[in-house]
Amino acid sequence: MELRQLKCFIAVAEERNFRRASERLHVVQPTITVLIQRLEREAGTALFDRSTRPISLTPTGSRLLPEARAVLAAAERAMAVARGEDRKAEHMLLRLGTSHAMGSRLETVLRILGERQPDLQVELHDGPPWARLRQVRENELDATFIHMQQESPGLSMTTVWWDSLVIALPAKSPLARRPALRLSDMREIPLRTVERSENPRFFDFLWEHCREGGFEPVLGKPFTSVQNTLAEIGLGAPSWAVVYEGAMEGAPNSSVVSRPIHPPLGVPVCVAVRDPACSRSRLLLEACWEAARQHSGPGGPPPYLAAAGAMTGAYSAHAAE
């Protein structure tokens, strides 16, 4: 077993797609396929179920993933010691980009970071996704959370968990009595979403799924901030929005409620860094995976969130923050 086999295995497990793993590692896809096949021969069984779209881990692959991550982390720590990175100043600073939709997972990540590195100081920075990616690339931030991988030359993207999407609507709406809603249930009600110029990938993602539901949404007032938009949905003229589940933790009052989307819909949350092997990046990624494990609950993640290690997913992969 070679480290590069494990790197390829982890990348395919997280991306759930050989092509995207190839792009992430900058390795041609046939090479990744060969390395995975060799690893499967050594394991004596398949690690991926290639009959699903996107591909998924087999039970053996799911057991191997956390061990593979641990092996790579140990190898990276050994190299850090060899390079003298372990002698860096005691007080480490992590400049971390976040978004309004992180919810309680962000608190969990920060708590884990504090437990594992008491001397670590974390600065949180908000802003549009494109701005945070630029700040990481220009060394103004060390890392940022991003909903769905975006092509960003010079940066490494790692999926850390999946975020469910929910429908936010007025509590007084008759539709709020239902336990779950289809997008098509909202066809007659104005949709509050970001303008396409602000976030074209998420706009197109949502529009595509509405069309798959057999309708084109009636656009209402553009989505502004989470707090203001939710308040207006709850108290103003009839409207609705599709938001990340974590965003509802900041719902202004009981006038607005959320309902799961049927069938389930969600997007992967990634961490973008310049160097995934540096100590701060490793600390953050490991804290995120642990936070994802803790938030999955004792029974594990929901079936539709089947993904690498702590989380898996069966969602469309063209959403963005």
Rounded to an integer, what distance in angstroms lies between the CA atom of residue 197 and that of residue 319? 15
Q: In 3D, which of 186, 277, 174 has the Cα closest to residue 240?
A: 186
* SS3 call for 96: strand
A 10 A CB-CB count for 230 gives: 25
The CATH 1.10.10.10 domain(s) of the chain lie at 3-64
Q: Before 252, cis peptide (omega within 30)?
A: no
Scored b (16 or more CB within 10 A) or e, 3-30 reads eebbbbbbbbbbbbbbebbbbbbebeee
Give which of 134, 71, 122 is closest to 272, Cα–Cα: 134
CATH of 3-64, picked from 3.40.50.300, 1.10.760.10, 3.40.47.10, 1.10.10.10, is 1.10.10.10
Q: What is the pLDDT along the chain (321 residues), one digit of tens a residue?
A: 889 999 999 989 888 889 888 888 888 999 999 999 999 999 999 999 988 888 889 999 988 988 888 888 888 777 767 766 554 444 478 999 998 778 788 999 999 999 999 889 999 998 888 889 999 998 899 999 998 766 778 899 999 998 899 999 999 999 999 999 999 999 999 999 988 887 788 889 999 999 999 999 999 999 888 888 998 998 888 999 999 988 887 565 689 999 999 999 988 899 999 988 888 899 999 999 999 888 875 444 443 343 333 333 322 222 333
Q: What are phi and psi of 132, to 5 degrees?
A: -65, -40
CATH number of this structure's domain 163-260: 3.40.190.10
Tokens describing residue 102:
């992180």
d(CA 158, CA 160): 6
pTM greater than the 0.85 cutoff:
no
Domain with CATH 3.40.190.10 in the chain: 88-162+268-305, 163-260
Q: 3-state DSSP call for residue 240? A: strand
The CATH code of the domain at 88-162+268-305 is: 3.40.190.10
Neighbours of 269 (CB within 10 A): 25
